[in-house]
Each structure stands twice: as structure tokens, then as C-alpha cells.
Amino acid sequence: MDFLKNKSHRWLWGVLAGILFLGAGAAKGQFSVIFRKAVMICLECIGIG
Amino acid sequence: MKRLRLVVQLLFTIVTNGYAYGFLNGKIYQGRLKYTCVPGLNCYSCPGALASCPLGALQALLNQQGFQIPFGMLGFFFLFGSLLGRMICGWMCPFGLVQDLLHRIPLFHKRKKMPFHSVLKYGKYAVLVFLVLIGSSFLFGGFAKMPAFCKFLCPSGTLFGALPLLGSNEMLRSQAGGLFWWKLGILLLILALSVKVYRPFCQYLCPLGAIYGWFNGFSLVQIRWEKEQCILCGACQKACPVDLAVDEISISAECIRCGKCVTACPRDCLSFRKKV
């Protein structure tokens, strides 16, 4: 636990939070939303929509 | 170091935009890799893009019916930011590479910063809040939410998405109107400015840089400064493309970890280190 308490290991807390958030996002189906958007041509991105 | 970074930038850009069929036929990749994002600014409507754009993905989540915390993208930013910070901007961003290459053109007297830099550098935070977060959530579109950053500003979408798609797809070309010309104007302005000023989009407008910059102070990969050996000669600041002083290097939100300071230091007191 001392390893995690060390201030210079704050990046590790960030990684753990990242993994946790990714899991929460996956559980809520957010990656399907991203997929559905990314496989269609984004008309806003190309200045048409 | 300079050559290594260029090779990594080129490889990353080519590999993540490797769907050659899309460029030839004016179509985009629709495979399963698009469930994931690349870390840098890379439009998912680029015909070659194999994965999604993190800012486009964030806006897609914010554009959903009702408000949902975009956990998926928060996780992505925390994971990559905590490991690399803005090293992503310096080493893995295709639009950063374009600006780097343009800045090498031997025209004009080169400048590291724009006039009023100390104010303008906050522009990227304003873009993040007003266009990406608020714009995508409710402001500009009322109840019909829209990816406001992609629609009104993103030059990466115009360069990597619009130009190749409109160039090879007659139907899309016929629909291009005022909005396209507005975005093309922004792109041309940024590209022209890049010849004189170092990475103007990254320094002043990129919301992805604003996000990753927040992690710079504590990310795993750092440029470490051996204070005891330093003779404060200023060689690192002179080499730094964004003009950071030796005590700001690495921890500043502006540092893109390009490594020019590491190469320039005559006493080897700057080095890439993992923070373990």
C-alpha cells in the first residue's frame, strides 16, 4: 500500500480510475454509441451537415 | 531524437489511417476497430481511419438523448493521459505531424508563440468548454444536440475527412455549401500560420491538448530535471518549441514531450524517465 500512497505514483491512480471508467462506459453500452457514430460518414465533420 | 519522433509520428499516422480502399472509393472503414479510439486528433470520417476520434466520440456520447456522464471517454482520457500526458500530442497526433512538417518549410522568420500568447493559450480551454462540452450538450443546437467542435472548427476533419471524401465522392461534393467553405477557411488559416508559428492549433485551440495537458504534472512518462547538475545555461529553453523554462518543462500543460530539450542539454540533466 505504501507504493500507492507515494505522491509520485499518482499516475497509477489515474490509470486505475481510467480502467474503472472504461468498465462503467462499457457496461452502459457507450462504446456501441461511439461505434454507430464512427461507421457512418460524419456530415458535420466534413462540413456538410 | 528528432528523427525518432518523426518516424513514430509517420508510422502512427500511416498505421491508424491504413484503410487504403476508403481513399480510393470515397468510403470509410466500418469494422469493429471503430469501437476504440486513437489517442490523437484523427477524424473518424477520414476514409483511411481504422479507429474513432476521441473528441468525436466524446461528443457522440454527449449528444445522446438525456444527459449521461461519458464514462467511456473519461476512462480513455484518464488511461492515456495518466500514462503519457501530452506526449500523445508530440508523438501520436496526425494533425500535429502536419503542423510540424509545415513549420519546417524555410519561409518567414519562425516564431514560437503568437502575440498575446499568455491570453491566447487559454483558447483551447474555452473551445473545450464551449464547443465540445456545452455545445454538444445543449447550447447551440437547443434540443437537437450536435458535435459543435467537429461542425464549426475541427481542421483535422476538413483535412483528413472532408477533402479526401469530397475529392472521391461526387454525391458528397455536390452537397458542399457555406459550412464547408467556412471550415476550409479555418483549415487554410491554421496551415498557413503553422509555417511561421509552432503548432498554432495545438497551442491555442486544441481541446484534446487541453485535456491531456491536465495530466502532464503526474503522468508516468516525464522529462526529469536533475537540478543539482544544471548550470541554468538556458539551452533547453532555447531549443523548446513552446519556449518553456527548465523548471516548467514536463509539468507545464504546454509541454508536448518532443524531447528537443533533452537533446539540447549540454550536461545531460534532462532525460525521459518513467515515474516509478
**CA nearest neighbour of B49 among B29, B65, B74:** B29
For chain B, the structural domain boundaries read 2-213, 221-274
Q: Is residue B225 within a helix (H) or strand (E), and if so which, with residue range? A: strand B221-225
**Contact by Cβ (8 Å): B75, A18:** yes
Instruction: Note whether A4 contacts B: Cβ–Cβ < 8 A.
Output: no
Bridge partners (DSSP) of residue A46 are: none
φ, ψ for residue A41, nearest 5 deg: -65, 125
Give the C-alpha separation, B66 to B99, whole Å.
38
Bridge partners (DSSP) of residue B114 are: none
Q: Is residue B53 within a helix (H) or strand (E), and if so which, with residue range? A: none
C-alpha dihedral, B40 to B41 to B44 to B45, nearest 10° = -150
Contacts of B182 in chain A (CB under 8 A): 47
For domain B221-274, the CATH architecture is: 2-Layer Sandwich (3.30)
Q: How many domains does chain A have?
A: 1
> With 0-12 CB in 10 A as exposed, 13-18 as middle and 19+ as buried, what is B93?
buried
**CA nearest neighbour of B241 among B180, B193, B199:** B199
> pLDDT tens, A8-47?
788 999 999 999 999 999 999 999 999 999 999 988 888 8
Q: Is residue A18 a part of any domain in this protein?
A: yes
Considering only the beta carbons, identify the residue of A11, A39, A41 that sits closest to B275. Answer: A11
Query: Binning pLDDT at 50, 70 and 90, where does residue A7 land?
Result: low
Residue of B nearest to A6 (CA): B276
Instruction: Note whether B161 contacts A: Cβ–Cβ < 8 A.
Output: yes
Instruction: Note whether A8 contacts B: Cβ–Cβ < 8 A.
Output: yes
**Contact by Cβ (8 Å): B155, B192:** no
Give residue B237's identity as a one-letter amino acid code.
Q
Q: Is residue A45 a part of any domain in this protein?
A: no
| Interchain pair B52, A22: CB under 8 A | no
| Interchain pair B176, A47: CB under 8 A | yes
> Please, what is the end-to-end C-alpha distance for chain B in angstroms?
23
- Written as tens digits, the pLDDT of chain B (276 aa) is 778 999 999 999 999 999 999 988 889 999 999 999 999 999 999 999 999 999 999 999 988 877 789 999 999 999 999 999 999 999 999 999 999 999 999 988 889 999 999 999 999 999 999 898 887 776 555 555 788 899 999 999 999 999 999 988 888 888 888 999 999 999 999 999 999 999 999 999 999 999 999 999 999 999 999 999 999 999 999 999 999 999 999 889 999 999 999 999 999 999 998 765
Parallel, antiparallel or unpaired: strands B270-274 and B221-225: antiparallel
**CA nearest neighbour of B191 among B111, B121, B96, B88:** B96
Q: Is residue A15 a part of any domain in this protein?
A: yes
What ipTM goes with this model? 0.91
Instruction: Give the structural domain span for A32.
Output: 2-38
| Interchain pair B70, A25: CB under 8 A | yes
| Interchain pair B165, A32: CB under 8 A | no
Q: Is residue A9 a part of any domain in this protein?
A: yes
Q: Which residue has the cell 469530397?
A: B166
Cβ-Cβ contacts under 8 Å for B119 (sequence gap 6 or more): none
| Interchain pair A14, B82: CB under 8 A | yes
Give the C-alpha separation, B89 to B94, whole Å.
9
Give the C-alpha separation, B233 to B139, whole Å.
49
**Contact by Cβ (8 Å): B183, B158:** yes
